[in-house]
């Protein structure tokens, strides 16, 4: 079950309702798969035998669900060196889950969300968090790469 937190400063002199947040601590894997093998990917050339089209790493991250604004946003914690070097070449992919995603489904069992920066964007993101088990999946799709986060999340409170 998700715990709901009130954000600091949410109680003001105005009659605005408090901001309702759920903070999740998540661990799991991130898998990135090259859709088009062209040029340099993962620091290897397409002819390099070590340049597999699919890579997987462990990840630790946070997710904030803002029920007031109806958004979900990821905060990256630990990522492996290979993922970090790849994201330096494709920084737009990391930035996708850093941006607020609009909640599209909210019921007793799940929170669904997506992010489409513009009609002509070549990147998008969708995700679902199971409110009972804490399982979360986030998919980021671009022209060249698909990224899948498979996470197990637990409610937590912010450190400060």
Does the pLDDT value for residue 22 go beyond 80? yes
Q: Report the C-alpha gap between 99 and 125 in whole angstroms.
A: 10
Instruction: Name the residue ranges covered by the structural domains of the chain.
Output: 19-156
Nearest to 151 by CA among 72, 71, 61: 61
3-state SS record for the chain: CCCCEECCCCCCCCCCCCCEEEEEEEEEEEEEEECCCCCEECCEECCCCCCCCEEEEEEEEEEEEECCCCEEEEEEEECCHHHHHHHHHCHHHHHHHHCCEEEEEECCCEEEEEECCCCCCCEEEEEEEECCCCEEEEEEEECCEEEEEEEEEEEECCCC
Does the pLDDT value for residue 129 go beyond 60? yes
Q: Residue range 93-119: average pLDDT?
A: 83
Residue 19's pLDDT is 74
Q: How confident is the model at residue 157 (pLDDT cuts 50, 70, 90)?
A: confident
Residue 131's pLDDT is 95
19-156 maps to CATH 2.40.160: yes
Residue 122's pLDDT is 75
Choice among 50-54, 110-114, 121-125 with the minimum mean pLDDT: 50-54
Q: Residue range 102-107: average pLDDT?
A: 95
For the stretch 6-19, pLDDT in tens is 444 444 455 667 77
- How much of the chain, in percent, has pLDDT values that exceed 90? 33
Distances (CA, A) of 156 to 1, 47, 75, 118: 11, 45, 14, 33
Contact (Cβ atoms closer than 8 angstroms) between residue 24 and residue 5? no
Does the pLDDT value for residue 78 go beyond 50? yes
């Amino acid at each position: 079950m998700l715990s709901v937190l009130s954000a600091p400063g949410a109680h003001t002199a105005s009659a605005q309702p408090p901001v309702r947040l759920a903070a999740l601590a998540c661990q799991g894997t991130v898998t990135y798969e090259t859709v088009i093998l062209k040029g340099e990917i993962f620091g290897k050339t397409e002819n390099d035998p070590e340049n597999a089209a699919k890579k997987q790493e462990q990840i630790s991250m946070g997710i904030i669900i803002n029920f007031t604004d109806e958004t979900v946003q990821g905060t990256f914690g630990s990522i492996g060196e290979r993922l970090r070097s790849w994201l330096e070449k494709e920084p737009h992919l990391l930035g996708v889950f850093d941006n607020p995603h609009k909640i599209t489904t909210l019921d007793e069992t799940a929170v669904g969300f997506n992010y489409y920066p513009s009609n002509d964007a070549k990147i998008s993101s969708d995700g679902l968090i199971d409110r009972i088990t804490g399982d979360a999946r986030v998919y980021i799709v671009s022209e060249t790469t698909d990224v899948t986060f498979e996470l197990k999340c637990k409610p937590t409170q912010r450190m400060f």
